Amino acid sequence: MKLILFGPPGCGKGTQALIIKKKYNIPHLSTGDMLRSAVESKTQIGIKAKDIMDGGGLVSDDIVVAIIKERLMQSDCDKGFIFDGFPRTLSQAEALDKIVLDRKTKISYVIEFSVDENIIVERIIGRFSCANCGANFNETLNPTKRKDVCDFCGGRKFLKRDDDNEETIKNRFKAYY
């Protein structure tokens, strides 16, 4: 199964992708996660993308397509994958068409998410994850049962993305639309 999950930042694509990933044992390909990893690893692509991402903008199609193309060559994508946040532009969609044709396959489904912007802002500003197991929480909508203790693994270290602030979110909405 080859899926595209489409919708604005913070609408729940990543949450749903994790559920689908577990059920079908296919990789979840989040361009945002791949770019953040490249930034953290200080790769050439990561260095190019850092300033753009810090301002809430979208990196160039060339960079995104290069990351996707490279990732799809890995063997765990042979039986399927879930795109989360890709493609975002006509140019990316055209590049994906070419990649899919070259691989002699096709996209199975495209699922579009629609969520009220105010709810998304509340979700994004309050979200955090367990540094140990990656479980996702939200300060108001889905807090840990015991303060500062992960419900799943008992971890006590949590991560919050630097770009999860209202100004950056508004910029991401503008870029998305």
Amino acid at 95: A
Out of 160, 161, 170, 174, which one is annotated catalytic? 161
d(CA 54, CA 149): 29
Q: What is the DSSP letter of 59?
A: P
Q: Is 36 a catalytic residue?
A: no
Q: Is 146 a catalytic residue?
A: no
Neighbours of 110 (CB within 10 A): 12
Out of 13, 21, 36, 123, which one is annotated catalytic? 13
Residue with tokens 């595209």: 4
Q: Is 123 a catalytic residue?
A: no
Q: Is 161 a catalytic residue?
A: yes
- 28 — phi, psi (to 5°)? -95, 115
Q: Is 2 a catalytic residue?
A: no
Out of 21, 36, 123, 127, which one is annotated catalytic? 127
Catalytic positions are 13, 88, 127, 161, 172
